[in-house]
Amino acid sequence: MKEYVREKRLKTRSEAGTLALAQMISELLAAPKIVVLTGEMGVGKTTLVKGWVEALGMGRAGEVTSPTFSLMHEYTSKSGKKLYHLDLYRLETERELATVGLEEIAEEPGALVLVEWGEQFASVMERADAVIVMEPLEGDERSFLLRWTDR
């Protein structure tokens, strides 16, 4: 398993808090990066991406949806920077993963790649620059454990 040199623990109390937290995380984990978002179904991984897209000026949070069935959504800023949001939940093998094109998009200069369910694949975890572990607490509260390396 990859060793991460930095770690930060955070907590939010609501969906709005998670959206706001994405602003800070977007500055902390600036592109180029591959970030794996882990946590059980419904913990708010896509909500975090919504806030991240908005924080980077690539769209409004309400326009961001889960790519569960399309596997990937792409967002572009006015300056041409790209954020890719992948959801690998429905994939089972490395061969299926290869069809998504993660290798190619990860090589794009300045690309930020946010991957839900990436922990299912050793190849994704080996390439990841950061992991965000999300856990539900009481009600709408969530805990976040960020682990990352500086590139």
Q: What is the largest CA-CA distance in the chain?
A: 40
Predicted model pTM: 0.94
Burial (CB count within 10 angstroms: exposed 0-12, middle 13-18, buried 19+), residue 78: exposed
Q: Note whether residue 1 is domain-resident.
A: no
Encoded tokens for 119:
């922990």
Q: Note whether residue 110 is domain-resident.
A: no
pLDDT-based confidence at 150, cuts 50/70/90? confident
Higher pLDDT, 150 or 6: 6
Residue 63: domain span: 6-83+116-148
Beta strand 82-87 pairing with 6-12: unpaired
Whichever domain contains 44, its CATH number is 3.40.50.300
| Total structural domains within the chain | 1
Q: Note whether residue 125 is domain-resident.
A: yes
Q: Contact 133/145 with Cβ under 8 angstroms? A: yes
Residues 50-90 pLDDT 10s: 999 999 999 999 999 999 889 999 999 988 899 999 999 99
